[in-house]
Amino acid sequence: MRYGASGVCHSDLHVVDGEWSAPFPIVLGHEGAGVVEAVGAGVEHVAAGDHVVLSWWYPCGTCRQCRHGEHWVCSGNHADESVLHDGTTRLSNADGAVHQYLSIGTFGEQAVVPASAVVPIPPEVPFEVACLIGCGVATGVGAVINTAGVEPGASVAVIGCGGVGLSVIMGAALAGADPIIAIDREQAKLDLALEAGATHGVQPSGSVRRAVRAIVPDFVDYAFEAIGLKETVEVMPRITRRGGTMVMVGMTPEDTKVSFDGLLLPSSGQSVIGSSYGSCVPAVDFPRLAQLHLAGRLPIDRLVTHRIALDEVNDALAAMRRRERARSVIVY
Ligand SMILES: [Zn+2]
Ligand SMILES: [Zn+2]
C-alpha cells in the first residue's frame, strides 16, 4: 500500500494517552486510503493501481461471526495484536519489530496490510474523503443505518459532534430523521453539525433534558452518544422517550463503568445497544458510502477541517485532546 491520506481519530489518542493498551513500538493511524502497489499470491479482489479504503477490523472469513455475515465483530483477525495474519509485522527499527496499529498503521507513507483489510472504491473519491470512510464515517453512518435502523421521521439526538458524531448526523439526515438535535459544548462544532444535516444545535450550558424537551416534548426516539464519556452516556436515558433506543457509539477508556438505575430500563422499556464499527461489512458498505458521497448525498468533505503533513500529527492529537477540530487529515 501507498497511503494517500490518513485521518487522525480519537482511537489513536486513546493509545497515545495510555487509555487503551497496544503493543509498542507502534505506528499508529487506522483511518486510511491509498493506492495498492502490489498484491501477494492468491489476492484477486484488488490489483496494483486500485484506489482503496482500509478497514481496521477486517474479516477473517471463517469465525462464527464472519459466517453469520457479522464482519464488524470478527474474532479471527489480528487487529488487536497490530500484526499481520502470520503474527509478524513488516516494519522494524534497530531494536526489532515495530507494530502496525490494527494491522494497518496509516501514520506512514507505505505499509504491507492484510488483503481483507483493503476495499476498492471509485478513484474519483479524493483520498482525504475516502480515508474517513474507513473509520469515522462507517462508524457514525453505520450506527444509524445498520445498527439502529432509524426510520424516516424518527427523532434523533446526537451527543458529541466530532468526526463520528457528525457522521451520525449525516446518517440520520440520510435516513430521513427529523428533528436531528446536535449536542456539543463547542459552537464551531454545532455550526458544522447544522451544515451536516442537524435541525437543531444545543450547547449543554443548562439542562440538556429541558433543551431537548423544548424541541421534542416526549423526548427522542433515538439517542446516540458519540464521545465515549461516562457522563454523556449517562445523559441518554434522560433525553430518550419511553420505549426509545440509546446507542453507544463513542468508545470509552478501558475499564470505564457506566451506570443506569436498575429499574429504569425494564420500567421505561428503553434499550441500550452498542454499535461496533457501524455494524458494517466493509466490502459492502464502504463502496456504498463512497457512492453516496459522489452522488452528493453524504457531504464527507465537510468533516475535513484541517489538512496537515505527517510531522504535524502531534499537534492534531493535542487539538483533539482539547476537544477542538472535527477531523484533521494527514495528506501524503
Ligand atoms: Zn477511528
Ligand atoms: Zn471472522
161-192, pLDDT tens digit by residue?
999 999 999 999 999 999 999 999 999 999 99
CA 12 / ligand 1 centre spacing (Å): 7
Q: Residue 327 CA: which ligand is closest?
A: 1
Ligand 1 centroid to 218 CA: how many Å?
34
Is the per-residue pLDDT at 325 higher than 90? no
For residue 10, report the distance from its CA to the centre of ligand 1, in Å: 6
Which is catalytic among the residues 6, 10, 30, 74? 30
Pairing between β-strand 91-93 and β-strand 96-100 as defined by DSSP bridges: antiparallel
Ligand 2 centroid – CA 277 distance (Å): 14
Helices 163-175 and 187-196, interaxial angle, to 10°? 30
Q: Which of 6, 9, 167, 293 is catalytic?
A: 9
CA–centroid distance, residue 21 to ligand 2 (Å): 22
Residues of the chain above pLDDT 70, percent: 100
Q: Which ligand is nearest to the CA of 85?
A: 2
Which ligand minimizes its atom distance to the CA of 167?
1
Residue from 74, 131, 135, 280 carrying the catalytic annotation:
135
Give 175's DSSP letter: H
The residue from 6, 10, 11, 200 that is catalytic is 11
Per-residue pLDDT, averaged over 74-79, amounts to: 96
**Summary mean pLDDT of the chain:** 96
30 belongs to the catalytic site = yes
Give the pLDDT of residue 280.
97
- Tens of pLDDT, residue by residue over 230-283, are 999 999 999 999 999 999 999 999 999 999 999 999 999 999 999 999 999 999
Q: How far is the CA of 79 from the centre of ligand 2 (A)?
A: 11
**Catalytic annotation present for 85:** no
Q: How confident is the model at residue 229 (pLDDT cuts 50, 70, 90)?
A: very high
Pairing verdict, β 2-8 and 327-331: antiparallel
Cα 155 to Cα 274: distance, rounded to the nearest angstrom:
19
Which strand ranges, in their side-by-side order, compose the sheet holding 118-120? 118-120, 51-54, 31-35, 2-8, 327-331, 304-308
Q: How far is the CA of 282 from the centre of ligand 2 (A)?
A: 13
The residue whose grid cell reads 431537548 is 212
206, pLDDT greater than 90? no
Distance from Cα 46 to the centre of ligand 1, integer Å: 23
Q: 331 C-alpha to center of ligand 1: Å?
A: 17
CA of 73, nearest ligand number: 2
Three-class DSSP category at 90: coil
Ligand number nearest CA of 79 is 2
Within the chain, how many helices (H) and strands (E) appear? Answer: 12, 15
The environment of the single-atom ion ligand 2, i.e. residues with CB closer than 5 A, is: 60, 63, 66, 74, 76
Question: What is the distance in A from the centroid of ligand 2 to the CA of 3?
Answer: 25
Question: Which ligand has the minimum distance to the alpha carbon of residue 61?
Answer: 2
Q: How many residues does the chain have?
A: 332
Percentage, residues of the chain above pLDDT 90: 98
| Residue among 6, 10, 14, 99 flagged as catalytic | 14
Query: 273-309 pLDDT, tens per residue?
Result: 999 999 999 999 999 999 999 999 999 999 999 999 9
Mean predicted confidence (pLDDT) in 71-90:
95
How many angstroms is it from 82 CA to the middle of ligand 2? 16
* Residue type, position 101, single letter: Y
DSSP codes joined into one string, 242-310: EEEEEEE-S-PPTT------TTHHHHH--EEEE-SGGG--HHHHHHHHHHHHHTTS--GGGGEEEEE-G
Residue 66 annotated to the active site: no
Q: What does residue 168 show for φ and ψ, rounded to 5 degrees?
A: -60, -45
